[in-house]
Structure 1
């Protein structure tokens, strides 16, 4: 067991995916974790799952982590600050400016509060989805303000480091603008694209491949939660969507006259712009690096994927990323392997020599 940087106890309020994962991660480091939730059922599951214990009278937590929906975050934070006057309080809501404004307006003691946001999660929530390793290597924003001292805020640094997160310091304003671009607007676009499938002919949906799955994956997220998130960060989200609308209008105008002079060039520039944007997304270990892709056909039977991984390792090639796709109606899948460009030729020859079928 690795020793925690915190002394504890740590009180976690709200035992959905994030709260339960925080509890599991801290318990793995030997900390005393106190759990609280408005739902007795969720609370019972999280306790049984090993994420912490029920609260006792006289508990004096060192740190309180509020993991509740955005529309009640400020209210719960204020109640925790009042109930535990010696504790540092943080929250993990995905919007940071609105709760801080609400807390200040209510007269809460923000000298013991700072908001944070771990960029980690999944489409499915609830305590049963909790994982102790959910935050490993993930960015975790600390949205500091001038009302809290560094000494008081150090417990929050310890929390993030204990859970394996990577500390990113931002102002609440910069945080909300940033997540609007990289999280909130993608959710909207994914959901709108998925809505196109509702009335689509069955024949069209049956042709769905990895592309549409990639674009619509996050559309499976909880609508009620996203109503709250988008409402709390409406300004920055609307601003980016307005820019997106300009891009769409420009592209539609080009497609409506594909034979016009310069139309092909404009389309190419739009698509190349997407290439340039994707290239900026940090990859493995946070590196901004491009990889080469190799698509291998894998028979759909037990042990084949494991055998492919073994072959890649035996070729002395590091697998940088992996994406799987199944062929509709066929007992075969496609494994798209990302490797360093200088290792692509060697790995291709190696796999072909051992009977693997390379697509394309």
Structure 2
């Protein structure tokens, strides 16, 4: 691939353009918003100049409702040898493209499973897709050359290709992406009118659960409007679980021992189901989940503290698998939780203590 056209210079489109440009591909940028296009170009994502002829690959990075129209328009003008979209819903846009007389031989629907809470070109990074799954939904009509160009795109972006049926993809993302977004927003919405004293008690748990609630509502309305049925089906199942959980909690209030026992059993059941589900979430680089030991390090909120911890861990020869930071309420201090292989934890603890760090070791994952 030597040339590409990116239509839509938001977070995903600009990140793809940055990754391709870094690999030596000449990227042309299009967007109905000239300011957004200029911003992407200024970031080094490509040129605003139109291509002089058909490019190797046209990447359509627009909201799901506009994918079919954008692909069809590009195909009519012969803009590229191959066309790909990167929307978060796949079945509907492909059916719309077919209905509009689009050419399925030169088109392939895809979905890079990566994003951020922020949107727009200023949030884009060339490494946004590194190590992340990138779903491809080819059909029997998909031309082999098109598939190869798209696989090259995925490789340039450092992602991992995953082939799926389009409708199976939409059901999957309803479970692992779209429903979690709504649940995060529902939990965060409870904080809107909460007492200030309660909000001040927010810790890492509520931060983890509500992190994606900061996402752009306009973007999510577009996404959910394109995949409402599968999301509603999953939320119906969640609602049934919530009803049962509420009944179990009410039973725990009872003075009757049998009812309290039944309530406790109900709560334990949902917690254990949660344990089992969490165990299935892939670990680092998509591998099987791994059990890590958590080493807690108390730090002050001074510049360079985190860098010192990582440097000291490196001197100890220990690889940090994951990290979390929990800030202390009302204090310029916090707890850094370093997740490491269990066998490395004693080495790290001894080394950090030797260098003056205050340690709180705890089991974890």
d(CA) in 1 for partners of 2:79, 2:185: 42
Q: Which residue of 1 aligns with 2:295?
A: 294
d(CA) in 2 for partners of 1:31, 1:357: 49
Deviation of the 1:184 alpha carbon: 0.2
TM-score between the two structures when normalised by the length of structure 1? 0.95
SS in 2 for 1:122: coil
Indicate the larger mover: 268-277 or 90-99. Answer: 268-277
SS in 1 for 2:9: coil
SS in 2 for 1:108: coil
Q: Which residue of 1 aligns with 2:76?
A: 82
Residues 81 and 87, structure 1, Cα contact 8 Å, conserved in 2: no
Deviation of the 1:86 alpha carbon: 5.2
Could you tell me which of 216, 221, 234 is aligned with 1:222?
216
d(CA) in 2 for partners of 1:301, 1:328: 16
SS in 1 for 2:277: helix
Q: Which residue of 2 aligns with 1:277?
A: 277
SS in 1 for 2:251: coil
Q: Which residue of 2 aligns with 1:236?
A: 230
Residues 279 and 290, structure 1, Cα contact 8 Å, conserved in 2: no
Deviation of the 1:57 alpha carbon: 6.1
d(CA) in 2 for partners of 1:262, 1:343: 42
SS in 2 for 1:157: helix
Unpaired runs of 5+ residues, structure 1, are 1-5
Indicate the larger mover: 119-128 or 302-311. Answer: 302-311
Matches within 5 A, 1:147-166: 147-166=141-160
**CA 1:85 to 1:328, structure 2 compared with 1: closer, same or farther past 3 Å?**
closer
Indicate the larger mover: 142-151 or 261-270. Answer: 261-270
Alignment coverage as a number of residue pairs? 354
- After superposition, what is the alpha-carbon deviation per residue over 1:316-354, rounded to whole angstroms, capped at 9, x for unaligned? 221100011211211211101111122223322333343
**CA 1:52 to 1:203, structure 2 compared with 1: closer, same or farther past 3 Å?**
same
SS in 1 for 2:50: coil
d(CA) in 2 for partners of 1:248, 1:120: 29
Q: Which residue of 2 aligns with 1:122?
A: 116
**Is it true that 1:68 corresponds to 2:62 in the alignment?**
yes
Q: Which residue of 2 aligns with 1:306?
A: 307
Deviation of the 1:272 alpha carbon: 2.1
**Is it true that 1:107 corresponds to 2:107 in the alignment?**
no
**Is it true that 1:25 corresponds to 2:19 in the alignment?**
yes
Q: Which residue of 2 aligns with 1:333?
A: 334
Indicate the larger mover: 213-222 or 335-344. Answer: 335-344
Residues 77 and 89, structure 1, Cα contact 8 Å, conserved in 2: yes
Deviation of the 1:52 alpha carbon: 0.8
Q: Which residue of 2 aligns with 1:3?
A: none
Deviation of the 1:85 alpha carbon: 6.2
**Is it true that 1:46 corresponds to 2:40 in the alignment?**
yes
Q: Which residue of 2 aligns with 1:257?
A: 251
Residues 28 and 51, structure 2, Cα contact 8 Å, conserved in 1: no
Unpaired runs of 5+ residues, structure 2, are none
SS in 2 for 1:140: strand
**Is it true that 1:134 corresponds to 2:128 in the alignment?**
yes
- After superposition, what is the alpha-carbon deviation per residue over 1:194-236, rounded to whole angstroms, capped at 9, x for unaligned? 1111110111111111111111111111111111111111111
Residues 112 and 148, structure 1, Cα contact 8 Å, conserved in 2: yes
Superposed CA RMSD in Å reads 1.5
Residues 9 and 63, structure 1, Cα contact 8 Å, conserved in 2: yes
TM-score between the two structures when normalised by the length of structure 2? 0.93
d(CA) in 1 for partners of 2:7, 2:51: 16
